[in-house]
Structures are given as C-alpha cells and as structure tokens.
Amino acid sequence: MFNAMSNNLNDGLPYGLTLTTLQHLTLLSAIALGSILWVEIVRDLYHVLAHLWSPLGRLHNWHHRVFRPDLSVMSEEIYRKAHWYNDVPEALVMLTCSFLPGLACWMGGYPLAAAAASVGSLYTLTFLGGAIARGAGVPQMDELTDLTHRPGPFTTYPSHWRVNRTYHWRHHFDDQKAYYCGTFTLVDRLLGTALSLKGKTIAVTGASGSLGQALLKELQGQGAKVIALTSQDHPLTITRQGETLPVKTVTWKIGEEEALQSLLEKVDILILNHGVNVHQQRSPQAIATAYEVNTFSVLRLMELFLTTVKTNAQIATKEVWINTSEAEVNPAFSPLYELSKRAIGELITLRRLDAPCVVRKLILGPFKSNLNPVGILSADWVAQQVVKAAQRDSRNIIVTINPLTFLAFPVKEFLTSWYFRLFTRRT
Ligand SMILES: NC(=O)c1ccc[n+]([C@@H]2O[C@H](COP(=O)([O-])OP(=O)(O)OC[C@H]3O[C@@H](n4cnc5c(N)ncnc54)[C@H](OP(=O)(O)O)[C@@H]3O)[C@@H](O)[C@H]2O)c1
C-alpha cells in the first residue's frame, strides 16, 4: 500500500525527487488537517455573510434569539427551530465546500491525497448529524455537541486560537459584528474582529503624554468611550482631525491607586501606559522613581483591576494592556529605565499565569515623545498599530523597527513563562 502511495504522490514531483513513506504520511496528515481547517474557514465566512446579507441574516437571527446572557435557552421551540434554520444550512454549505479540495486533488491525479482531503467531509458530517439531532430534540445532544453554548460559570477568559464558551459569548452579548469564529479563531484574527472596541469603556494612564494622547484618539475613533487617567490636575483634551475634543479626565497619584477602585469596576479595558525615563541618573532617588512609576504603580493598578473581574461578562470582556517597552529585551541606553521595565515585564509574565481576564503586553520600539525626544516612530502610528494588533487578538503586541525584538521577545517570553510555570504554584 505504501509503495502504491509513494508511486502515486511521487508521480507529481520533479525528476529525481522522491518522498519516503514517512514523508508521505506527514503530507497526507497535513492534507487531512488542512481539509478540516478549510471547512472551519467556510463555516466562519458563512457566519460573516449571515451578518452582512439579510436573506441569510433572517435564518441566522433564529440562532441569536435562542440564548439569554447566562446562555440558558429562551425556549425549547426556538432552540430547535434555530438548528433547522441556521445550523443545518450552515453544515450543508460546509459539506458542499468540503468536497472542493478532494475534487482538486482527484482532478490533479492524486487519488490518495483526495482520500485524505475527504477527512474534512467526514468531520463536517458529524456537525450536520449533531445539528439535525438537536433540531429533532434528541435528548442530551446539546450537551454533547453544542459546547460553545453551554450555560454555567466561565472558568477561563477568551482563548487565543480555539473558540471557547467565553470567546463565543461575546458574539452574542458584546458585539454581533465581531467574534464570528466557531471553532478556530483564525478568521477573526485575519479580519480584525477578534476584539471589538465599540462601546467599551477604556481608561488610559499617562494620558497627557504622547502615546497616551494617541491611544485615546485612536480608541475613540474605534467607538470606545475613553477615560484619561492622568497625574495632571486639569481636564485633558484630545485633538482629532483638527478638532479639540474634551475627554473624561480622572486625576490619580502614584501610591494612591486604591482611590481608583470604584472607577476600575466600570472600566472594560485598562491600559497602563504611564512611564518615566530617568536617563543617565543612578542616585537612590532615581532608582526609587524609576521603580515606583514604571514597576510598582503599574503592578498595583493591574492587581486592583484584576479584583474587579468577577462575573461571566467581566471575564469575557475585561482586559488589561501593559506598556512595558522593547527595553524588556533590548538596550534603551538608560539602565534604570531598562531595569524597571524588565522588572514589570517579568512580573506581568508571572502574574498573568493566574489572570482572570486577558492581559496584553505592548512591546514598543522608539517613538518620539517627551520621554524619548529622539524616537524614530510617531506616537500616532504606534497607537494605530497597537489597536489593530489588539483587534487581531495579539496578546504580545510588538511594534518596532528593530527586527531582533520580533525574535528575541517571543523566545524570552516563552522561556520565562515556562520557568515561572514550573517553579511557582497558584495559591
Ligand atoms: N517613547 C518611546 O520611545 C517608548 C518606547 C517604548 C515604550 N515607551 C513607553 O510608552 C509609555 C508612554 O510614554 P511616552 O513615550 O508617550 O512618554 P511621555 O510623553 O513622557 O508620556 C508618559 C506619561 O506618563 C505619565 N507619568 C510620567 N511620570 C509620572 C508619574 N510620576 N506619575 C504618574 N504619571 C506619570 C505622564 O502622564 P500624565 O501626566 O497624564 O500622568 C506622562 O505624560 C511609557 O510607559 C514608556 O515607557 C515609550
């Protein structure tokens, strides 16, 4: 059989090139897995279309009528109808499209590859069967086959690559024009619909600074309700398209973070962006300033914010973003800045192992500001890239001109995170 397989697939290779049996098995497995990914992409695109094209939307709306915010079912009748009007047609479209990769392989003269590609069709048949069974009211089918709609407390925040209940809940109750994916998050990440900022209350520290201003502007442009958290004692404004706009301003002071508790209860996304650069100083006072501003106040605010994450809705929608800087892995020619930023970077890596909500790190390269007057990038551009990356659900957002950071940071983060995971315990 393996010889036949080798002959079949080797036929298509350039003269002199042959694949071993192991390579063939790997290739066929990749085709089988690819065929599953393909049908999932079809499912998600069908879902997107249902939110754009009203004839399909009318069928899909049945699905949106089924659940209450705690994911309990409104009525058995609506639940069953929703499967006949939405899930069954969706699975039939997936099934039809599932034949395309196999057909292409068959027509290209690779029957074994076509057989591997048929895995996508078998996979889809399980969904079609599940949808028909749920529509017919077969007992316990929802528990076995409708995993992203099960009621009960959320045990974790929205997952990164696979859709969990928390991730999907947001499509129903946060923003129906986002979070389209059903099994893998790939399509949302490509479309930038893996995080919706519309209507979210977002508070930004360091709001009077260059990046603080740019972030407030960009986030407001995306439909967020922004709050400027500042150490200044006067209201701040932002300038968008030549127009000066007032912005809700709250004054806070280092060491008095607790005073923000009641505000943070109402905040969906907290962006910890304040920071200081003591440049070439090395006095005890400079050490205290660098660590108090860049490390400990950030940690205190993050911990305070995490205590406000309690309900299912908060686990699903609350987030904290921390601007640590690429000084986590590269020199910034300011040792105390590097030390304090590395300290907060590592503490975030440690604490986010137990975080109840999504925690993102911003790893930014040099941009022009009071803190870095010789920065190359513009704060506006950096803010736009940060927001786009968050909408693609990047959990470590790297925006820099230094290619080394794209290599060094993920390796450092992975190793540190595993080191912390292995040698610490959740209390
Ligand atoms: N510029 C760069 O090249 C670069 C690169 C990577 C990362 N970063 C990081 O990006 C963040 C924003 O910096 P930026 O470049 O936009 O600098 P910036 O214009 O100087 O803004 C920093 C802001 O932090 C707040 N801040 C400073 N000292 C404070 C204190 N003692 N207590 C409370 N707040 C204080 C101030 O905002 P309020 O007056 O509103 O409180 C200040 O405007 C910082 O965390 C920085 O480390 C910058």
pLDDT at 48 over 60: yes
In the annotation, is 419 catalytic? no
**Spacing, Cα 334 to ligand 1 middle (Å):** 15
What mean pLDDT do residues 107-130 have?
95
201-423 architecture in CATH?
A: 3-Layer(aba) Sandwich (3.40)
Residue 358 · residue 395 · CB < 8 Å: yes
Q: State which of 205, 227, 276 you would mutate to test the pocket of ligand 1, scoring each by most atoms of that ligand within 8 A of its C-beta.
A: 276
What mean pLDDT do residues 189-218 have?
98
Altogether, the residues listed in the chain come to a count of 427
pLDDT at 6 over 60: no
Nearest CA to ligand 1 atom 46: 275
**Number of the ligand 1 atom closest to the C-alpha atom of 379:** 16
pLDDT digits (tens, 9 = 90+) for 323-370: 999 999 999 999 999 999 999 999 999 999 999 999 999 999 999 999
pLDDT of residue 15: 62
**Spacing, Cα 314 to ligand 1 middle (Å):** 28
Nearest alpha-carbon partner for 57 in 180, 161, 170? 180
Given 123, 167, 337, 419, the catalytic residue: 337
Nearest CA to ligand 1 atom 17: 371
What mean pLDDT do residues 110-132 have?
96
Nearest alpha-carbon partner for 361 in 323, 335, 333? 323
pLDDT at 278 over 70: yes
pLDDT of residue 103: 96
Nearest CA to ligand 1 atom 18: 209
Q: With cut-offs at 50, 70 and 90, classify the pLDDT of residue 422.
A: very high
What mean pLDDT do residues 33-59 have?
97
pLDDT of residue 2: 47
**Spacing, Cα 409 to ligand 1 middle (Å):** 21
pTM of the shown model: 0.94
pLDDT digits (tens, 9 = 90+) for 216-256: 999 999 999 999 999 999 999 999 888 999 999 999 999 99
Q: How far separated are the first and last CA of the chain, in Å rounded? A: 55
- Sequence ranges of the chain with CATH classification 3.40.50.720: 201-423
pLDDT of residue 1: 46
The Cα 228–Cα 171 span in angstroms is 28
pLDDT of residue 199: 98
pLDDT at 21 over 70: yes
Instruction: Compute CA 37 distance to the chain's CA centroid, rounded to the nearest angstrom.
Output: 19
Pocket residues for ligand 1 (CB within 6 Å)?
206-212, 230-232, 254, 273-276, 293, 323, 325, 364, 366-367, 369-372, 375, 379
Residue with the larger pLDDT of the pair 64 and 5: 64
